[in-house]
Amino acid sequence: MKRTIFIGDVHGCHDEMMKMLDAVRFSPEDDEIYFTGDLIGKGPNALKTVQTVEQNHFKSVLGNWEAHLLKYISVPQELWTDKIKRFFDSLEDPFWIANAVKKWPLWYDTPQALLVHAGLEPGKQRLEDMNPNVLLSIRTWSGSAEEMKSPANPAWFECVTWSKPIVFGHWAAKGLVDIPGFHGLDSGCVYGKKLSAYCIEENRLYQIPAARIYSPIKAGKS
């Protein structure tokens, strides 16, 4: 049976990613592997993680961390702020990573599901009309892309209907989302929780516990 397997935000947790591929019994002949983005950032092995994705011809959407890298890489080095310097210092060979991820799309519209990093923009019917920053960053919806994090507002997926299931990551604080039409797979591996994957054809969730806490959870961040 051909399988489509979606894996949540890895954030450089390469060991857990490899254990997940073992857990799903990945077959290059039969399986299509997709990632929800944010393969880099916070964790220990971003370069190795992206290299594995590239070498195996896996697919990933762009995450907000990859988008930050592509934004910063275009800034002349003499204009780097302390924030940009810290970002690059946290990555091994950031220029190689940037060259790899620059071709990653904002979404994959597969026959089985729509894959996006964070979510969709409510009120828009065409992916091409949606604000890229919303696709990369949305959690909740206020009616405006100016505010997409407030817990006082409804989750974006409560404001969206779509013609096929939507698979997404990005929202570790929310954890797993498994409701009709929506599969949220960022279960906080880099924070010492779990790496999650979902196989559409099997309707099955796979999880691998993190070996340790790689990054502490900061208040209001995830």
What pTM, to 2 d.p., does this model score? 0.94
**Angstrom distance (rounded) from CA 118 to CA 165:** 14
Q: pLDDT tens digits, residue range 118-157?
A: 999 999 999 999 999 999 999 999 887 777 888 889 999 9
Residue 9, pLDDT above cutoff 80: yes
pLDDT mean over 73-82: 89
Residue with tokens 């944010």: 38
DSSP string of 43-72, one letter each residue = SS-HHHHHHHHHHTT-EEPPPHHHHHHHHH
Q: pLDDT tens digits, residue range 187-209?
A: 999 999 999 999 999 999 999 99
pLDDT for 197 equals 99
- Tally of CB atoms within 10 A around 195: 27
Domain positions in the chain are 3-119+166-209
CB 210 within 8 A of CB 195: yes
**Angstrom distance (rounded) from CA 27 to CA 30:** 5
Residue 219, pLDDT above cutoff 60: no
Q: How many whole angstroms from its chain centre is CA 66?
A: 9
**Angstrom distance (rounded) from CA 189 to CA 8:** 9
- For the 3-119+166-209 domain, the top CATH level (class) is alpha beta
CB 66 within 8 A of CB 35: no
**Angstrom distance (rounded) from CA 93 to CA 200:** 34
Q: Is 40 helix (H, G, I), strand (E, B) or coil?
A: coil
